[in-house]
Amino acid sequence: MAVPDAAVSFLLDNLSQVLVYNVSLVANVKENILKLQQELLTLKGLMKDFSKYNHDSEFLKQTVNEIRGILGEAEDAVDAYLLQAAVQKSRNWASKAFHQITDYPIVLRDVGKQIEEVGLKVKRINEEKVKNGFEVLQYQAIVKLNQSGSSEAPKVEEDHVIGFDGPAEDVEKLLTQGPEKLEVISIVGMLGLGKTTLAKKVYKDPDVDYEYMIRAFVYVSQDYDKREVLLKILASFTQMTEEVSKMDVEQLEKYLYKQLEGKQYLIVLDDVWDPKDWDRFKDVFPNNNKRCRVLITTRYDRVAEHANRNTDSIYRLKFLELGECRELLRWRVFQKNDCAEELQEFEIEIARKCDGLPLAVVVIAGIIVNHRDRVDWWKDVANSVKDYIARDTTQTTKVIELMYNRLPNHLKPCFLYLGVFREDFEIPVWKLVRLWISEGLIQQEGNFNLEDMAEVYLEELVYRNLVMVGTRRANDRIKTCRMHDTLREFCKKEAAEENLFQEIRKDNWSTFTSGAPILDQYRRMCINNVNILDYISGTPSGKCIRSFLTFVKEETPVEPKLVSSIPKTFKLLRVLEIQSLIFTRFPVDLCNLVLLKYIAISSNFSSLPSSLSTLWNLQTLIVNTTCRTLDIKADLWKMPHFRHLHTNAATILPSPSPKSQKNKEDSSTKSMQTLCTISPGSCKKEVFERAPNLRKLGICGMLTKLFEVNGESSLLPHLRKLESLQNLKLLNDDISNKLYSLPSKSSFPPSLTKLTLLNTLLEWKEMRTLGELESLEVLKLKEYAFQGKLWQTEKGGFRRLKHLYIGHTDLVVWEASVDHFPKLKSLELNGCDKLQAIPHGLADISTLEMVVLHCTNPQVASSARRLQVLRLEQAKKGTKVHKSFKVSVYPPEH
């Protein structure tokens, strides 16, 4: 169970922002909010202390639930007050006078009293838990320590060998070949992939047995006793004496080292959790130049990379192929590789839904085995594979719970939150990062950018093999990610228990449309597998809902009568992710939701109203529209927390008002990081002055006027001042207006690492300017960015370029060598059907790893193959080149 320290931090941050930016709205309850803030600061410190103790503690679970409930009350009280105050502020004078006479003062007084009462509850918790809590936790920790016995490996990876012939051969080579010095070999993979099974298969192999006179296989895991592990290693190859069994840890280390010294040995450390665990054992393994090996199995890349910097010694275990899943299922059910014809339809379906995870196959086989001849049973299981896996508590859930409990507290809610996405959804990382931040799951650390912190959190989850990388960007940062369905089901179940979010499903539909009191506890709601319009039109309930998310596959037009259903139902919303719904008009009631931090919406409309600027809390705005342009009439420059604008149209931004221009030094629009994409007409000096910390900028429209050498409309002199700008897209949507030249390199932002051009129709000689950009690492020349039959790359350019993409072009001859791209890692050509060949001089680029060809011609493919041959010849001669060089051709060559 995750201690809700992130929730405390989020509420504290919200209170601070309220006091800074909305002091006029909360004047009547300012003192109550300050008292609540002080008690929450005390509670935050208490949570850090609690997090050190056993998460299985019933006392801690009770405390966490109590705190979570009170935090919800505090959040509701403050948000309700803000909402009422904002509504009153927006009324005209006649309406205000009427409500002053009637309800408004009473409502605010009641809410103010509620804030005071919540503050007193937090104070009581602080006093009671500090006084009594630690004694209980300390006692429970001692009891658990005294009761703990020797650790044994959980029986979650059964002794099967299907699909492991190839991996076993690869690992065996790592063990029996290679240098004479001591090597650490690692098998890495997520839970249930069969790491232990593979290690045992290799360990028992006759060739490995013959190679090593000393072998030991010991289980380490999360909560190990070092002395016990050392004794088990010794017991594997020596006669244990009473003297040895009584040795302390230091004596055992010296004794084991002496026993291994001068001998050829293989030691398997199964299920290592932490890089520090290797540091605690490594000194007992002597390097005696007899090709000794230590084999580690781990779920975490970081452990493997720490134990041996040589990545060639890391074997990453992959998922089973469909055929291997079927074979494993047959052996587990029938004890032979055979299945009756009438069952094969369901066998295939079951194997497919297990998604290559051996553990899932074993779990399902255990459900089938006692009814293996019943067609109806196979059919039922095939229809409910994920439900059966999710219900299994003896294998799958226990292992996942171990991994989850091992997570640091700041990662737990981020991991569980991944369950809001539908199955098989390729999650865009930029969207995930925006959501995590808006939900308050990313905690500020020093001066680190929140977006960068969120990506660090994601990398942590990837390292722990809890999240799978879908695709990576050209700069190697994660572009998309996904979860295995087994983990996703755990996330949904655990998130519901911890009230992180609830999923609306067919089996709980009635609860969310009933107005039941339990709905008052819910804060986040997602809907992926039911008809969302049926839900919206069915008088949904949830007055305390802060997040409403849907990732349904089908895009669904919203009937005009339902446009305002969501904002009218969920008045305290902070996060609204409904891009799968298509709105014919902007839901004006959305502008009343003053707490909104994140909006993602799709539409057929071409403008956003000025009333949108009342959303003082908004951080991220994502709008997809079928229109070519989008006119934002709202004054974004008055929105103090605005960070990201993502649109698919050329967006017309409002100019900063003269009043806000005078106060630009105090403006908090300095937090703005993304403007993508905006129209050329919006690229004004005053716009960029108000967003000096932009990191990503996309411009779409007629670009010619932005590249005038003289004149006030010239773009690049303004961009030069954006010292944080890393990613720039220049998309020309009018190919009848080509660009004739680029200005000098001094006009480009100094930190620019990624540049994308589309339909600019520049001549290849202009590449000289781009080659001079000192920080440029990624260059994407999309359709007709450049034109001309000859490109002679000049020396001294592209000193840091790692990735080059060239889209459709009329290029015929390209002359280049290693001197032109000294650090190039990948080259991608798409639709370059007139190009005769890839320059053979690129083979001398030692860093080059990959050439990808889409819809080119046979001559280009042949030249790429020649590069591959040249690289092999260089490697044989001992030339220092990248260890692998891959050529991919689409469609595949026949």
pLDDT for 465: 66
Give the confidence band of 711 by pLDDT, cuts at 50, 70, 90: very low
What gap in Å lies between CA 495 and CA 417, rounded to an integer? Answer: 7
pLDDT for 713: 43
Produce one character per residue of 835-861: b if its CB has 16 or more CB atoms within 10 Å, e if not: bebbbebbbbbeebbebbbeebeeebb
* pLDDT reading at 3 higher than 50: no
CATH of region 322-391: 1.10.8
- For 522-535, how does the pLDDT look when each residue is reduced to its tens digit (9 = 90+)? 889 999 988 888 88
pLDDT for 100: 46
* pLDDT reading at 52 higher than 70: no
The total number of residues written for the chain in this structure:
894
Mean pLDDT value across residues 197-215: 83
Mean pLDDT value across residues 460-465: 76
pLDDT for 665: 45
Give the residue among 819, 810, 893, 886 at the shortest CA–CA distance from 858.
893
Give the confidence band of 19 by pLDDT, cuts at 50, 70, 90: low
* pLDDT reading at 54 higher than 60: no
Domain range summary for the chain, segments of one domain joined by +: 5-147, 165-316, 322-391, 407-497, 502-605
Mean pLDDT value across residues 805-810: 95
Give the confidence band of 76 by pLDDT, cuts at 50, 70, 90: confident
Residue for token digits 């001992």?
Answer: 878
Give the confidence band of 697 by pLDDT, cuts at 50, 70, 90: very high
- DSSP designation for 724: T
C-beta separation of 567 from 596 below 8 A: no
Give the residue among 799, 879, 809 at the shortest CA–CA distance from 844.
879
pLDDT for 791: 96
* Domain topology for 165-316: Rossmann fold (3.40.50)
Question: For a pLDDT cut of 70, what percent of the chain falls above it?
Answer: 80
Q: Which two tokens stand for residue 859?
A: 């001559």
C-beta separation of 613 from 641 below 8 A: no
- For 208-249, how does the pLDDT look when each residue is reduced to its tens digit (9 = 90+)? 877 887 889 888 877 688 888 899 899 888 878 888 888 999
pLDDT for 855: 86
- For residue 39, the surrounding DSSP H or E stretch is helix 30-50
Positive or negative CA dihedral for 627, 633, 635, 640? negative
What gap in Å lies between CA 828 and CA 425, rounded to an integer? Answer: 26
Question: Does a cis peptide bond (omega within 30 degrees of 0) precede residue 891?
Answer: yes
Least confident stretch, 27-31, 585-589, 859-863: 27-31
Identify the residue with better confidence: 436 or 544.
436
pLDDT for 808: 94
Give the confidence band of 404 by pLDDT, cuts at 50, 70, 90: confident
376 contact partners, CB below 8 Å, separation of at least 6: none
pLDDT for 726: 95
- For 568-593, how does the pLDDT look when each residue is reduced to its tens digit (9 = 90+)? 889 899 999 999 999 988 999 999 89
What is the average pLDDT score of the chain? 81
For 407-497, give the CATH class: mainly alpha
What gap in Å lies between CA 223 and CA 424, rounded to an integer? Answer: 34
Predicted structure pTM score? 0.73
Three-class DSSP category at 48: helix
Q: Which two tokens stand for residue 290?
A: 């007899």
* pLDDT reading at 94 higher than 70: no
Identify the residue with better confidence: 722 or 73.
722
pLDDT for 12: 67
- For 756-779, how does the pLDDT look when each residue is reduced to its tens digit (9 = 90+)? 999 999 999 999 999 999 999 999
Identify the residue with better confidence: 476 or 255.
255
DSSP letter for each residue of 148-186: -------TTS-S--TT-HHHHHHHHHHHHSS-SS-EEEE
- For 101-159, how does the pLDDT look when each residue is reduced to its tens digit (9 = 90+)? 445 456 556 666 776 777 777 777 666 655 555 444 444 444 443 444 444 443 333 34
Most confident range, picked from 224-238, 305-319, 713-727: 224-238
458 contact partners, CB below 8 Å, separation of at least 6: 414, 429, 432, 433, 467, 478, 481
C-beta separation of 670 from 641 below 8 A: no
